[in-house]
Structure 1
Amino acid sequence: MMKTINKLASLGTLILFLMLTLMACSSSDEDTTGESPVNPPANFDYSEYLQPGTDEIPDWMTADDLYHSYEQTMSVQVTLQNALQPYLSADDKMCVTVNDEIRAVCLSPRYTHGEWIYSLVIAGSGNDKFLSLSYYCSKLKRTYTMERWMVFSQSAMPTEVNGRPYVVSFFREKN
């Protein structure tokens, strides 16, 4: 009996995750509803974004009482797209914002199994919609931002279904 209940609970969790994922996805690169995450167009030339920049190191910090100010948290693990992998280092930073308010910061990514992983615990509430993600690359001295990266959900899985970190793509790579 307990095995059946556990299997049904696992199946229910998977179905809920798939429903949330499908609701957050868009079949178009263009935002026509104001509700879907925005992606760069397919023919976007990203080569200029891998050139060294002049961005200052951001002073991203969260308020001391941040996690007391919000009733929910969402934990995620993130890595970056292939084009940025050669430039990743321990000096990089990542932050999550909601309406320009910093809700999570990772100042020290960890290197494990051949890749840099950013662990973020995001403070929020049921009223929050989209999260924006910013990444500072110390080797390139550039800050990359993805507006409306993900929908806030306390019940979100911390990784992809396969256990891998979410891969963030700030721009499309040529195939």
Structure 2
Amino acid sequence: MVNEAFRLLIDDPDLGLRLIMELYGPQLLKQISRCIQNDDELVKDVYQLTLIAIWTDHKKIGKLEDPFAWIMVIARNTALSTLRSERIRLKEPIEDHENLRSSDQADTALVYKETLDELLQHAKQLTPREEEIFIASKVDGMDNKELEKVHNLKAQRIRNLLSSAKKKIRKLLKR
């Protein structure tokens, strides 16, 4: 059964990988934990990366004389490589990440999304033509001239539709 799991990698990689996880999963986790201490999430990530590496080279591993030693080496090397990457990432200057959102920006984006969702929900209560013109104007940012061309309507009709739509939306938002 021991070498059968590795031989199965060649013909049925799904079953072979499941057997390897059952038989050697704890040993792989122990090997990874020797390199990565005090970070269970990183250990799980490296375990997944190890399984991906086994899956990728399943035909090669299935033909090896000592495949268990090979997967243990894969686990150790993946752990060490991940640790190096983490250390490099942690040493990067913060200036390199100036495009990261601050919590204020994240809050603003969330409020905007919630407001937009509410607005679109209320817009469903407009007439189909009002809804179409209102969304094109207020959400898509089209100006009246563009609306005239796209919807083949006169300027006054566009203004009337927008005016009545805004009036209805204001009433709905006040509730």
Tell me, yes or no, whether TM beats 0.5: no
- Identify the structure with the greater helix proportion: 2
TM tier relative to shorter chain: under 0.3
Which is richer in strand? 1
Structure of higher CA gyration radius: 2
Q: Which has the higher contact order (CA 8 A, sep 6+)?
A: 1
Q: Provide TM-score, normalisation by structure 1.
A: 0.21
